Structure 1
Amino acid sequence: MTSPLRSGRALLPTLVLMLSSVTGCDDDTPTPVPDAGTQHPTDSGTDGGTDDAGTDGGPSEPWDGSYTVLDDPGDWIDRGAFSECRFTATNPTLEECEDPANFDLSSCNADQLAAVAPHGIYAGDGRGARPLEDGGTSVTPGVAGFQLFSDGGTDTLLGRPLTTRMTDGGRFFLSARQTHPALGEQVFSLAGCETPKPGFITGCYVTCRQTPQFYTWTPGTFEVERAERSGEAEVSGGLQLVSESFVELGMPADVYVTHGHAYVVSLNRSGRFGGLTVFDVSDPAHPVFKTSISLPGDSYWNGVWAKDNALYVASADTGVSVFDISNPGAPEFVMGLPGNGYANVHTVLVDGDRLYASDITDYVGSTRVYDVSTPLAPVLRQVITLPEQYALGGPHDFFAYQDRLYISNAFGGYSVMDVSDLENVRHLGQYFYPGFGGFAHHSAVGTFAGRTIAFEGGEFPGSHLRVLEVSDPANIVKIGEYRMRYSTSIHNMILKGERLYIAWYHEGLRVLNVANPTQPRQVAHFNTFRDSDPNRGDSPFEGAIGIRVPGDGYVYVVDTSRGLLIFNEL
């Protein structure tokens, strides 16, 4: 198992349903990857233009800079109990948590459950509802996900092999047990109750945990839906899949394109080490594998960036590794950047002669700033730490724009720093997610109608695109949003002119026209996620994860299973 320090997903104490599946305690759990960096417009402007409507949308009207401040209910919205079924035991033992007899299914529809396909990947939302001594109820959010096979594969519940599966004769009960040295003995069980619409299952669950210090149990209800999209065309809006290249190492997480080569970094997954995979993409329709690098004890590589002949790799094991890519197809290790002992570097970003590296060690972390005017010999110039009230998870990502650094600081919100003078870095303002479990993860920033606009996304189910007016960092307001399915999570994005290219996990590649930032419009999409793809799991962090639009006429997307996908740029 991976140490909880390996991933910011260790910071979800409130996500009670199947908690360990999103804590970063398993190598199967991916970590976030870096953002668009300096690939921003000088003014994404008011010219408007006509989109290829395809099946996704029509032209955007020019924006005059006016907006209405919108309320922000948060990512997780309490929609009430999902089902009438209930876990009935009080103060249950671990064994009682595994017993289907302790679930009241009297209100359930066996005929509907009998029609559920005995295979597929489902993802969704959990709602813990724990009774309080004063007669009230404590409601907490969660996640639910499972993968079932009909051909002898290993069935899982939030990444854990099932100990019980009952999915015939109108029954639907799944249970899994896990022993972890830090989190103790855990049991996760859920019972399906009805299928309110095609592709959906609702029901109830319980999660129970025994450690040497305490015992907890939380019942609740859930709603899941088939992760593979149905009822929508695979592709629209003029996108074309130009090529696809499988990545053998671990789980692909990020890509950078330079010198006619694509550099894909991967995380450890299911016993397969991560590392670096290099493709010659001088002919994007026919990528050529060049080499792969995986180092024992140092292969949990989450982010990658380049400047001239230097390639910078973010490692959760050792910090930042520098490679010489003067021979693009054969990177040579140069050095590990100096740090104060162990450093869990999550992402890297180059802006001019600065390299920013996010160190999320101990959930607080810092942003290290290196001078890379000599790219192969970085020099540490500054270590930026946020005020204590914002240091809740560490800087998972950042975006550099017009002497400001926009930091997505996990549970600490979205902070804006003045970095014009590294000897006098100042915190200018912050936007904090309301509600349960808000997790600031990634953004892209540009100028529209004279205003500075941030397109910002979180992570975990329900996370979506927020549009923030950040011209005055001391008074950041929400002016727009764009949501996909509630069960899915947005991930990385690239702002290119009036187009926002988004790697949206299960939703694949989504292209939005943001000429009017208050009304983002989808103009194209490609569904990359398929149940049948090799090494797929039931995590909410499956599908399109990394993205680059380097300006060569193509869009480079990393999918956690399929590897490197290259599309035409719209």
Structure 2
Amino acid sequence: MQAVGIKVKDGTLEGEMSGSWGWTDPVSGREFMLAGTSDGTSFIEITNPEQPVYLGMLPIPTGTRSNIWREIKTYQHYAFIVGDAAGPHGMQVFDLNQLLGVLNPPVTFSTSAHYTGAANVHDIVINEDSGFAYLVGTNGSTPSCGGGLHMVDIRNPLQPQFVGCFSEPRTGRAGTGYIHDAQCVNYNGPDTRYAGREICFCYAETALNIVDVTDKSKPKSLSITVYPNIGYVHQGWATPDHRYVFIDDEFDESRGLTSNATRTIVMNIEDLLRPVLAKEYFSLSSAVDHNQYVKGRYLYQANYTAGLRILDVIDPNNPKEIGYFDCVPENDSPVYDGAWNVYAFHKNDAITINCINQGVYIVRPKSALVANEQDVPSSFGQISVFPNPFSTQAHLRLTLDQAQHVGVKIFDVLGREVTTLKSGYMSSGTHEWPMNAQNWPAGLYIYHIQTGPTSRTGTFQVRK
């Protein structure tokens, strides 16, 4: 990895670094890193990654105290910032357009809005597609939501509105449904029962809890899943096709549960009601894994003393490490120092690393990675149903670019399986299957095609 280091700690050389995120101005294309510190949030321009510019600091709210736990996410041109163990921190809202006009850095910035409906907040999750934020690990608030999902409408970013709670008392170490972190998405995975619904993958200390939060007044727990030798279910991220999640357990290495190796849990979530353990991946390091994110076919991990680790997960069942940058090269012992967070979604292909006692590092792979969200390789060619619509007889045609195992199923709009057209190994080329709808009710139907780590769905109409 090629790297540039910048010592940004509370604007000086003191304090500790924590959560981080990024933002690209959609008009100018200027690129920024948002770095949490003990006393606030630092802003660094990395439009030229080799010449980063420290722009300034947004201090913590008045009446709160310094703390290491600071987390940041973005929505539109706003940053949303929370802090834990800090007193009445709440959620700061910061208009990122302020960064565009800095002439003489560094400067001290001011908060654009302040949400006080939650006090101490351990982390923040934002679904940019829905415009909702989910504050997790809250306490000192009314309601506290049991430390679960404290749901906030941020579609008007300067006037956040509380909209509901979710907690699952069968999870969390205190039995209150405490959630340490989550990822909330508009679901586009293979479980057609939940197509288009807003789903949260919650990392709830003792289990993975999958929740349907489409109706904020009646969120619904879909499943609770555990895996062997749980220490602390900390954080995770889903593949772009929503078929797998990668989970980091923060206590398994430090408590000797993994035979002195960093472990990543790979969970198959194709059935949201019945996730299954697909793989326990062990690296050659013994560091504690802290945060991780999937971009295209790559998994970017912040593994404390082992730094940034990049894994190729095109086959989620067989991750392969392909690159790293270590901000604590002298050791990789399972202690809590080094890379707190990484951010790999910058448009200029830079990767930013926030290292607790070492500062900020901006790195870039020495060789190009195929890493856009659209770059998950597909082995499909053309898919068609003909004729469409039809009454009794039709064919589904599929072209495969390579030989592989293929599953082809038909579902009705309620998610009920109607028939399986194929499940088995197939050669490359064009294949056809007849469909006999003689006994099918009229209506819309869904085909679901699965090949390895990739799936595709589509619809057709039966008329009577």
TM-score (norm 1): 0.52
Aligned pair count?
315
Query: What is the aligned partner in structure 2 of residue 452 from structure 1?
Result: 243
Query: What is the aligned partner in structure 1 of residue 184 from structure 2?
Result: 400
Query: What is the aligned partner in structure 1 of residue 353 from structure 2?
Result: 557
Query: What is the aligned partner in structure 2 of residue 150 from structure 1?
Result: none
Does the Cα contact within 8 Å between 2:132 and 2:151 map onto a contact in 1?
yes
Does the Cα contact within 8 Å between 1:304 and 1:313 map onto a contact in 2?
yes
Shift of 1:421: 2.1
Shift of 1:530: 3.6
**Does residue 473 in structure 1 map to residue 272 in structure 2?**
yes
Matches within 5 A, 1:256-405: 256-258=21-23, 259=25, 260-267=31-38, 274-295=39-60, 297-300=64-67, 301-316=69-84, 317=86, 318-328=89-99, 331-339=109-117, 342-352=119-129, 353-361=131-139, 364-386=146-168, 388-392=169-173, 394-401=178-185, 402=187, 403-405=198-200
What is the alpha-carbon distance in structure 2 between the residues aligned to residue 508 and residue 350 of structure 1? 27
Shift of 1:439: 0.6
Does the Cα contact within 8 Å between 1:399 and 1:405 map onto a contact in 2?
yes
Does the Cα contact within 8 Å between 1:314 and 1:348 map onto a contact in 2?
no
For the residue of structure 2 that corresponds to 1:395, the secondary structure is coil
Distance change >3 Å, CA 372–CA 264, structure 1 → 2: same
Does the Cα contact within 8 Å between 1:320 and 1:336 map onto a contact in 2?
yes
Shift of 1:485: 5.0
What amino acid does structure 2 have at the position aligned with 1:392? R
What amino acid does structure 2 have at the position aligned with 1:349? I
Shift of 1:244: 1.1
Does the Cα contact within 8 Å between 1:302 and 1:347 map onto a contact in 2?
no
Of residues 193, 198, 204, the one that matches 1:409 is: 204
What is the alpha-carbon distance in structure 1 between the residues aligned to residue 352 and residue 213 of structure 2? 30
Distance change >3 Å, CA 454–CA 333, structure 1 → 2: same
Does the Cα contact within 8 Å between 1:319 and 1:359 map onto a contact in 2?
no
For the residue of structure 2 that corresponds to 1:390, the secondary structure is coil
Does the Cα contact within 8 Å between 1:430 and 1:473 map onto a contact in 2?
no
Shift of 1:511: 0.7
Distance change >3 Å, CA 464–CA 444, structure 1 → 2: same
Distance change >3 Å, CA 256–CA 315, structure 1 → 2: same
What is the alpha-carbon distance in structure 2 between the residues aligned to residue 530 and residue 497 of structure 1? 28
Query: What is the aligned partner in structure 2 of residue 90 from structure 1?
Result: none
For the residue of structure 2 that corresponds to 1:528, the secondary structure is coil
Distance change >3 Å, CA 283–CA 255, structure 1 → 2: same
Matches within 5 A, 1:52-131: none
Shift of 1:347: 3.2
Shift of 1:454: 0.7
Distance change >3 Å, CA 486–CA 446, structure 1 → 2: closer
Shift of 1:280: 1.6
Shift of 1:521: 0.7
What amino acid does structure 1 have at the position aligned with 2:7? F
**Does residue 438 in structure 1 map to residue 231 in structure 2?**
yes
Does the Cα contact within 8 Å between 1:309 and 1:376 map onto a contact in 2?
no
Does the Cα contact within 8 Å between 1:313 and 1:348 map onto a contact in 2?
no
Query: What is the aligned partner in structure 1 of residue 219 from structure 2?
Result: 425
Matches within 5 A, 1:143-222: none
Shift of 1:409: 0.8
Does the Cα contact within 8 Å between 1:347 and 1:396 map onto a contact in 2?
no
Shift of 1:425: 1.0
Distance change >3 Å, CA 339–CA 491, structure 1 → 2: same
Gaps of 5+ in 2: 26-30, 188-197, 370-464
What is the alpha-carbon distance in structure 1 between the residues aligned to residue 356 and residue 200 of structure 2? 28
What is the alpha-carbon distance in structure 2 between the residues aligned to residue 446 and residue 248 of structure 1? 33
What is the alpha-carbon distance in structure 2 between the residues aligned to residue 502 and residue 373 of structure 1? 30
Shift of 1:556: 1.1
For the residue of structure 2 that corresponds to 1:326, the secondary structure is helix
Shift of 1:538: 8.4
What is the alpha-carbon distance in structure 1 between the residues aligned to residue 329 and residue 317 of structure 2? 32
1:174-230 C-alpha deviation (Å, 9 max, x unpaired)? xxxxxxxxxxxxxxxxxxxxxxxxxxxxxxxxxxxxxxxxxxxxxxxxxxxxxxxxx
What is the alpha-carbon distance in structure 1 between the residues aligned to residue 127 and residue 71 of structure 2? 12
What is the alpha-carbon distance in structure 2 between the residues aligned to residue 539 and residue 339 of structure 1? 36
Distance change >3 Å, CA 539–CA 445, structure 1 → 2: closer
What is the alpha-carbon distance in structure 1 between the residues aligned to residue 323 and residue 122 of structure 2? 33
Distance change >3 Å, CA 289–CA 486, structure 1 → 2: closer
What amino acid does structure 2 have at the position aligned with 1:464? R
TM-score (norm 2): 0.63
What is the alpha-carbon distance in structure 2 between the residues aligned to residue 247 and residue 447 of structure 1? 33
1:400-434 C-alpha deviation (Å, 9 max, x unpaired)? 23121000011x31100012222221100011244
Does the Cα contact within 8 Å between 1:548 and 1:557 map onto a contact in 2?
yes
Does the Cα contact within 8 Å between 1:311 and 1:324 map onto a contact in 2?
yes
What is the alpha-carbon distance in structure 2 between the residues aligned to residue 498 and residue 346 of structure 1? 26
1:11-66 C-alpha deviation (Å, 9 max, x unpaired)? xxxxxxxxxxxxxxxxxxxxxxxxxxxxxxxxxxxxxxxxxxxxxxxxxxxxxxxx
Does the Cα contact within 8 Å between 1:252 and 1:265 map onto a contact in 2?
yes
1:113-165 C-alpha deviation (Å, 9 max, x unpaired)? xxxxxxxxxxxxxxxxxxxxxxxxxxxxxxxxxxxxxxxxxxxxxxxxxxxxx
What is the alpha-carbon distance in structure 1 between the residues aligned to residue 138 and residue 335 of structure 2? 21
Does the Cα contact within 8 Å between 1:265 and 1:303 map onto a contact in 2?
yes
1:79-111 C-alpha deviation (Å, 9 max, x unpaired)? xxxxxxxxxxxxxxxxxxxxxxxxxxxxxxxxx
Shift of 1:531: 4.5
What is the alpha-carbon distance in structure 2 between the residues aligned to residue 538 and residue 291 of structure 1? 33
Q: Percent identity?
A: 19
Does the Cα contact within 8 Å between 2:353 and 2:362 map onto a contact in 1?
yes
1:59-80 C-alpha deviation (Å, 9 max, x unpaired)? xxxxxxxxxxxxxxxxxxxxxx
What is the alpha-carbon distance in structure 2 between the residues aligned to residue 407 and residue 548 of structure 1? 20
Query: What is the aligned partner in structure 1 of residue 455 from structure 2?
Result: none
Shift of 1:539: 7.4
Does the Cα contact within 8 Å between 2:58 and 2:110 map onto a contact in 1?
no
What is the alpha-carbon distance in structure 1 between the residues aligned to residue 216 and residue 348 of structure 2? 33
